[in-house]
Amino acid sequence: MLILDSNKISENEVTDRAVYDNRRKFMKTAAGIGIVAVSGLPLGQAQAKSNYSTEEKKTDFKDISTYCNFYEFGTGKSDPAQNAHSLMTSPWDVVVEGECANPGKYNLEDIIKQVSLEERIYRFRCVEGWSMVIPWMGFPLAELIKRMEPTSKAKYVYFETLLDRKNMPGVARPVLDWPYAEGLRMDEAMNPLTLMGTGIYGKDLLNQNGAPLRLVVPWKYGFKSIKSIVKIRFTETQPSTSWQKANKNEYGFYSNVNPEVSHPRWSQRRERRIGQFKKIKTQKFNGYAEQVASMYSEMDLKKFF
């Protein structure tokens, strides 16, 4: 119990790297001898190490939390970290609607209670040509979807970000068609890699990273991983997304990471891993081909980019 208590304390601290790595080491051991870790923090808590996690060097928390795209709080990379404190994340409800047996308004705490949170260390590739390695906390989106019991008509899942004109200074300008909207095909949404993120580095998500609930789709460009979700809708037809509406020639519905499909603004052949000097080669599906390539085997990915 003593060990568990100290773990709990380190969870509650601002997790610096040493503490964090230490904690992870402990988690591995704990899992190995069959102890179920108990923690006071619901959202950021991980219970087991996932097989889907990468062993690559994690990006510094400082960089993850200061270099963000969250246009609702400004279009500059540092704007969200400066402005997102005004986001009200509690209480938080998610409205579920469309082609499913259990539509309604779900409180986030109730959602969290019924899922098992786990840590997933994923590569994160932005369409702008930079990437990070982020230790997310969260649960598979599939768990949530199963609970909503989508009907046979549900072919796509549509997501919407909060639109709060009072607390989101960025939405005063129509740079995107607010509210921010994204979507996945049902098989993509049900893929075991697809995560609903609730934390980073063992802590609750910071507002600028999309608190309290965001999507994480590691084989797609970052803008698909919609932040601060308030609405989920099951649809029969492909939903249109904010970036498609902004420029459909540059941002497709699928937006799978693909070094072979170049973008008028950025070559997608390489990426800058934040924290490293030299660029690295971009992998198809961001290195997750093994888990996801079969979903697209029939498709011309140059056409359906």
Partner 1 sequence: MKIPEMIFNRVFRPILFVLLVLPALYYAWGFWQDNLGANPLEAIIRGLGDWALRILLLTLLISPLRRLLNWTQLLRMRRMLGLYAYFYVVLHLIGYLWFDQFFDWSEIWFDILERPFITVGMISVVLLTPLAITSTKGFIRRLGKRWKRLHTLIYPISMLAVLHFWWMAKLDKSEPLIYAVLLSILLAERLFRKYVK
- When asked if residue 269 is in the footprint of partner 1 (CB under 8 A), the reply is yes
Which region, judged by CB under 8 A, interacts with partner 1, from 19-27, 150-158, 172-180, 197-205? 172-180
- Cβ of residue 246: shortest distance to partner 1, in angstroms? 6
- C-beta closer to partner 1: residue 113 or 278: 278
User: How many Å apart are CA 301 and CA 305, to the nearest integer?
Assistant: 5
CB nearer partner 1, residue 156 or residue 180: 180
Under a CB-based contact definition with an 8 Å cutoff, are residues 226 and 162 in contact? Answer: no
Residue 277 sits in the site that holds partner 1 (CB under 8 A):
yes
**63 near partner 1, rule: CB under 8 A:** yes
Please report whether residue 55 would count as binding partner 1 according to CB under 8 A. no
When binding is defined by CB under 8 A, the residue of 19, 31, 41, 274 that contacts partner 1 is: 274
Residue 46 within binding range of partner 1, rule CB under 8 A:
no
Q: What are 262-270's contacts with CB under 8 Å, separation 24+?
A: 263/127, 265/128, 266/127, 266/128, 266/129, 267/129, 268/127, 268/129, 270/129
Question: Does residue number 73 form part of the binding site for partner 1 (CB under 8 A)?
Answer: no
- Order across the sheet with 93-98: list the strands: 104-107, 93-98, 229-235, 156-161, 181-185
Considering the complex, what minimum distance in angstroms separates the CB of residue 106 from partner 1? 32
Q: What residue has token string 């891993």?
A: 273
Residue 247 interacts with partner 1 (CB under 8 A): yes or no: yes
Give the residue from 69, 68, 67, 30 showing the smallest Cα distance to 47. 30
Q: Does 272 bind partner 1 (CB under 8 A)?
A: yes
Task: Name the segment binding partner 1 (CB under 8 A); options: 89-97, 203-211, 233-241, 260-268.
Answer: 260-268
Type and span of the H or E element at 106: strand 104-107
Q: Which C-beta is closer to partner 1: that of 77 or that of 147?
A: 77
The DSSP code sequence of 275-287 is T-SS-EEPPGGGG
Among residues 246, 280, 294, 302, the one that binds partner 1 under rule CB under 8 A: 246
DSSP 121-178: EEEEE-TTSEEEEEEEEEEEHHHHHHHH-B-TT--EEEEEE---TTT-GGGGSTTS-S
CB of 142 to partner 1, least distance (A): 32
- Gap between the Cα atoms of 265 and 211, Å rounded: 29
Strand 93-98 and strand 229-235: the pairing is parallel
The reply on whether position 66 binds partner 1 by CB under 8 A is yes
Contact 202/137 with Cβ under 8 angstroms?
Answer: yes
Tell me: does residue 82 bind partner 1 (CB under 8 A): no
Q: Interacting stretch for partner 1, rule CB under 8 A, among 13-21, 135-143, 269-277, 292-300? A: 269-277
- Angle in degrees, CA 91, 74, 69, rounded to 5: 80
Query: Is 249 an interacting residue with respect to partner 1 (CB under 8 A)?
Result: no
In the complex, minimum distance from the CB of residue 222 to partner 1, in angstroms, rounded to a whole number: 13
Task: For residue 265, state whether it binds partner 1 (rule: CB under 8 A).
Answer: yes
Judged by the rule CB under 8 A, the positions of this chain that interact with partner 1 are 62-63, 66-67, 71, 75, 77-78, 128, 130, 173, 175-176, 246-247, 262, 264-267, 269-270, 272, 274-275, 277-279
